[in-house]
Amino acid sequence: MAKKTKSRKLSGKLFGKLFLPAFILTVALAGVGGYWIADNIFSVSDGGTMADGSRGVLAPPADKKSAFKVIRPNPFTPWQAYEEKLPDDIYEPPHTKLAAPSISGGNAPTWIKNSIPYNDNEGTGPLIAIVIDDMGVDRGRSEKIWKLPPPLTLAFLTYADDLAKQTQSAQTNGHELMLHVSMEPGSKTVDAGPNVLMSGMDEDELRNLVAWGMDRFDGYIGINNHMGSRFTEDKDGMTVVMQEVAKRGLMFLDSRTSAKTVGPMVAAELGVPHLERNVFLDNEPKVPAINKQLAKVEALAMRRGIAIAIGHPREETISALAQWLPEARARGFQIVPLSAVLKKRLGIGE
């Protein structure tokens, strides 16, 4: 019995001496392993590659111009939809006269140079511009969009891949181009994607991010906001954005994800040509609901002479537009690129 008691005491002392070092080693190994796993998982959503060599569906572009760390302030699962819930209002802006830009001596601003010439010999009725946001990430549906009858205005996300190739295909099919810039949403549970513009961001960092996005491809007329219900309410942030827009001779379309947006006010202060969205087409992504929204677009265009609608590359939207576009033209509506609306507002002839 004494031998057993002595053996147990020795075993206990040995266990006590070995337990702490073993525990520390275990924690250290777990940390290294966790870091490796996290690094490999998040490298997919932050621009890395998967084991099969493919890239994450929402990975930022891997090119020499993408020199910034991905700013992902909120929890994010890259395999889920992340669109912000948008307001369903039909917005009718006040009738305000916009100052026409100086284009003497062939010195036209970039938005005019990149605009699609439009002849109104197809109809004399009201103008309707259809803008399709979120282009470029879902390659299959984006291609279906640019194969619809032109001219639509297609806003490509800054972080989509192969933007030069995709935008060239869209232009070849007769559509106008815009740059779709990710801006901070109001909800902290929503992620607007890589390199999103954040309110309160350092001015230099913000300016660099805007410039990064604007260098992603060529040939677009201007920018509009992706989400941005919080950022578009931030006058300081929007001032930096509008300064960069003005510097490049572009225009601004406010998607109006917030009724408190200061985008148009700041654009007017800085002399940036701008427009505002009137109708969202597919907040309810069902063909009958989209058709009802298109009817509202027609009614607004009849009242005001102009209407701007925004949709997205969804199967239901593609199906509804494929049927509606020829029918609307047959009813006398002019389906025009967004630049044609702006030119009319500015009194600029073709």
Residue 203, helix vs strand vs coil: helix
Q: In this structure, is residue 164 part of a structural domain? A: yes
Which domain, by its residues, includes 183? 104-346
Q: Is the pLDDT higher at 284 or at 5?
A: 284
Residue 73 has pLDDT above 80, yes or no: no
Q: What pLDDT is stored for residue 190 in this prediction?
A: 82
Q: In this structure, is residue 61 part of a structural domain? A: no
89-93, 115-119, 194-198, 285-289 — which is least confidently predicted?
89-93
> What is the pLDDT averaged over residues 280-287?
94
Q: In this structure, is residue 300 part of a structural domain? A: yes
Q: In this structure, is residue 86 part of a structural domain? A: no
At residue 70 the predicted structure's pLDDT band, cuts being 50, 70 and 90, is: very low
Q: In this structure, is residue 94 part of a structural domain? A: no
User: Taking the model in full, what pTM does it have?
Assistant: 0.77
Residue 198 has pLDDT above 70, yes or no: yes
At residue 102 the predicted structure's pLDDT band, cuts being 50, 70 and 90, is: low
Query: Could you give the CA distance from residue 325 to residue 219 in angstroms, rounded to a whole number?
Result: 25
Residue 222 has pLDDT above 50, yes or no: yes
Tokens of 331: 């009813």
Mean pLDDT of the chain: 80
Query: Could you give the CA distance from residue 3 to residue 57 in angstroms, rounded to a whole number?
Result: 67
Q: Is the pLDDT higher at 42 or at 93?
A: 93
**Count of structural domains, the chain:** 1
Residue 105 has pLDDT above 60, yes or no: no
Range 94-103, long-range pairs (CB < 8 A, 24+ positions): 98/273, 98/274, 98/342, 98/345, 98/346, 99/271, 99/346, 100/346, 100/347, 100/348, 101/273, 101/346, 101/348, 103/348
The residue behind tokens 């033209």 is: 329
Q: Is the pLDDT higher at 310 or at 194?
A: 310
Give the CATH number of the domain where residue 202 resides. Answer: 3.20.20.370
Q: What pLDDT is stored for residue 127 in this prediction?
A: 97
Q: In this structure, is residue 42 part of a structural domain? A: no
At residue 81 the predicted structure's pLDDT band, cuts being 50, 70 and 90, is: very low
Q: What pLDDT is stored for residue 348 in this prediction?
A: 86
> What is the pLDDT averaged over residues 264-289?
95
Q: What pLDDT is stored for residue 68 in this prediction?
A: 45
Q: In this structure, is residue 154 part of a structural domain? A: yes
For 119-171, how does the pLDDT look when each residue is reduced to its tens digit (9 = 90+)?
A: 655 567 999 999 999 999 999 999 999 999 999 999 999 999 999 999 999 99
Residue 43 has pLDDT above 50, yes or no: no
> What is the pLDDT averaged over residues 6-32?
48
Residue 48 has pLDDT above 60, yes or no: no
Q: In this structure, is residue 17 part of a structural domain? A: no
> What is the pLDDT averaged over residues 70-94?
54
Q: What pLDDT is stored for residue 14 in this prediction?
A: 45
Torsion of CA 149, 280, 158, 174, to 10 degrees: 10
At residue 189 the predicted structure's pLDDT band, cuts being 50, 70 and 90, is: confident
